[in-house]
Amino acid sequence: MYEKKIPERYECGISIAMKVLGGKWKSLIIEYIHRGVRRPSELHRTVDQANPRVINMALKELEDYGIVTKTVYPGLPLKVEYFLTRLGESILPVLDAMEQWGNKHREEIVPDYSMPDKPPCAGIPPLLTNFEFSGKLE
């Protein structure tokens, strides 16, 4: 079994948040589950830049942290869906603040970026509605 050489420290809340949200796809997976993309095959199609194995590993980690819950429905073919837990829903304002910050500073961070004709989230409802980040999260 792999043992980390440098022990993780969790005195700082940012370290805990990064443990949960860190990685290339976890934030997007949480966002898409919130928007109604709940089945693994739908997530694989929606986050098509990621390998399905990577998405499955991220889902397992999010489940282990209590961010999502996995529901398996009986019958054939087997049906699996993921839902946000209460803890997972508490992350949504953080993701919304990250999205607002990214949109506001896109040109500074990625100066050569050109918006596609169809945004990546087209056809999916916004993450949150009528939410403005005040700088204080509960």
Residue 79 phi, psi dihedral angles, 5° rounding? -120, 130
Residue 129 lies in a domain: no
Q: Can you list the positions of beta strands (E) in the chain? A: 68-73, 79-84
Residue 88 lies in a domain: yes
Residue 101 lies in a domain: yes
Tell me the helix, strand and coil percentages in the chain, rounded to 5.
Answer: 45, 10, 50
**CA dihedral (42, 43, 44, 45) positive or negative:** positive
Residue 65 lies in a domain: yes
The number of folded domains in the chain is 1
Q: Show the tokens assigned to 67.
A: 């961010």
Residue 24 phi, psi dihedral angles, 5° rounding? -75, -30
Q: pLDDT 10s per residue in the chain (138 long)?
A: 567 778 778 888 999 999 999 999 999 999 999 999 999 999 999 988 999 999 999 999 999 999 999 999 999 989 999 999 999 999 999 999 999 998 899 889 988 877 766 555 544 555 444 444 444 444
Residue 34 lies in a domain: yes
Residue 112 lies in a domain: no
Query: Which structural domain, as residue segments, surrounds residue 71?
Result: 20-105
Please report, for the domain that includes residue 57, its CATH number. Answer: 1.10.10.10
pTM of the model: 0.77
Residue 121 lies in a domain: no
Q: What is the pLDDT of residue 118?
A: 54
Q: What is the pLDDT of residue 121?
A: 55
Q: What is the pLDDT of residue 124?
A: 52
Give the SS3 label for residue 80: strand
How many Cβ atoms are within 10 Å of 128's Cβ, its own excluded? 17
